[in-house]
Amino acid sequence: MMKSLKLQVGWSFGESQAAEFQKALNGDPQRTTLLFALATGMRPEEYMALQWKDVDLKQGTAIVRRVLIRTKGGGWYFNEPKTPKSRRTITLPPSLVRELIEHRRAQNEARLKAGEHWQNYDLVFCTEAGTPLQINNFTARHFKPALVRAKLEASIRLYDLRHTHATLLLLAGEHPKVVSERLGHSSVTLTLDTYSHVLPNMQMSASEKLEKLLFERLETA
């Protein structure tokens, strides 16, 4: 199994480490948020701005329509996505859809419990009061402790879940264009340049496939 890789843009961890990270999220109140980040490759400012109207649980999709911007004074506002390609629809794994259904049920209970103190912004991922998450607080209280429990490098950043998402898909043989579309990159070239560390593994895989397609068949003919 691939271990964590140091990229020019950050870190990426492998399948076994991703599994350990998922286990480390059990019991954390923001478990679904972090699973969503890993399984979609969205930028933090994208999934923290996601609203329930952007999610189709029947179709298993989520649409990036806005980003969350924090101001120096502690305020926040929604803004347009980073680029036109950032505005995109992402398909969700069935297990993540089931996780979101349970997450919504728990959130509805929290909203009823909070009563008039709940601030309804229709956010999928939010605080106990319904307000937007703050990346630094979220990282310190939920992401970093999960890294410790999973025994992963402390220098891994929240944004690196996005890099892990892309790396695992490419190593699994997913077409770079599909990965590029999921990430909202402006071009496939950007995706390949960013994740060039995966190319040697893909080239090796291609050679192994050719061995089976061409030479092994010739030997058995």
What are the pLDDT digits (tens) for 85-128? Answer: 999 999 999 999 999 999 999 999 999 999 999 999 999 999 99
Locate the domains of the chain by residue range.
10-160
Q: How many residues does the chain have?
A: 221
The CATH superfamily assigned to 10-160 is Intergrase catalytic core (1.10.443.10)
Q: What is the mean pLDDT of residues 149-169?
A: 92
The number of helices, as runs of H, and strands, as runs of E, in the chain is 11, 7
| Confidence grade of residue 2 (pLDDT, cut at 50, 70, 90) | low
Helix (H) or strand (E) run with residue 6 in it:
strand 5-6
Of 217 and 69, more confident: 69
Q: What is the mean pLDDT of residues 136-141?
A: 96
* Cβ within 8 Å of residue 11, ≥6 positions away: 4, 5, 153, 155, 156, 157, 160, 163, 164
Residue 46 pLDDT exceeds 70: yes
Q: What is the pLDDT of residues 176-213, one digit of tens each?
A: 999 999 999 999 998 988 887 776 666 666 677 777 87
| Residue-level pLDDT at 1 | 46
How confident is the prediction for the chain on average, in pLDDT?
A: 90
Q: What is the mean pLDDT of residues 151-176?
A: 91
Q: What is the DSSP string of 119-162?
A: ----BSS--TTSPPP-HHHHIIIIIHHHHHHHT--TT--TTHHH
Residue 146 pLDDT exceeds 60: yes
| Residue-level pLDDT at 5 | 62
| Residue-level pLDDT at 195 | 85
